[in-house]
Structure 1
């Protein structure tokens, strides 16, 4: 029984490392409601756990509907020193960032951002991966 538990712990650790290796570093900001219309779906309501893609992700509208797992990794040079909540959030891309988010990777809805970080931070460092 102890061997099985050790085996499962090793497998879990390896799988955890694999998922971290697939993550891409970037930055995130947030925008506030109203969230419609959007570049992907017009006036369709897609809920509040959503995001707008920058040029890095947008891919000429191919990003519409893609889902990304986002995790806060730390503060940028502005805002709150320790903004991260320690949780992650999965968002759906429903929009395009104005002017490509001005260098940011992704623009989260306020609700999605507040799940992973203190909104007083404004902009945060993230790891993200498509799910």
Structure 2
């Protein structure tokens, strides 16, 4: 039994490390009006959502993609905006041309990983 539990722990650990190794760096902002969206029109998709910046948009091919996002640091004078170790999983539902970040998170998603007073944060996403 102990050997099986140790094996499961090892597999989970390796999977976590592989996911983090594939993370891309970026920045995140947040928004608060979720419909209509470029991907789903007036259909609400919940609150753990995000909009993709122009470099990620790819003519809407990114719609529906799921990302895990982690705050990695400040981009402005707000000290220590990140909630240590917290991640959030979001679904891409919109396009944010010129939004100033790689991902424009819903306010609820942003608040899960960082202090919203920061406004813009550094992130890793995968």
Q: Does 1:36 align with 2:35?
A: yes
Q: 1:109 to 1:54 in 2, by over 3 A?
A: same
Q: 1:45 to 1:6 in 2, by over 3 A?
A: closer
Q: Does 1:69 align with 2:80?
A: no
Hey, what's the Cα distance between the residues in 2 that align with 1:107 and 1:7?
Answer: 38
TM score, norm. by length of structure 1: 0.84
Q: Structure 2 matches for 1:8-27, cutoff 5 A?
A: 9-27=9-27
Q: Does 1:81 align with 2:79?
A: yes
Q: 1:114 to 1:10 in 2, by over 3 A?
A: same
Q: 1:36 to 1:6 in 2, by over 3 A?
A: closer
Deviation at 1:91, TM superposition (A): 0.6
Q: Over aligned residue pairs, what C-alpha RMSD do you find? A: 1.8
**1:109 aligned residue:** 106
Q: Does 1:55 align with 2:23?
A: no
Hey, what's the Cα distance between the residues in 1 that align with 2:41 and 2:6?
Answer: 51
**1:123 aligned residue:** 120
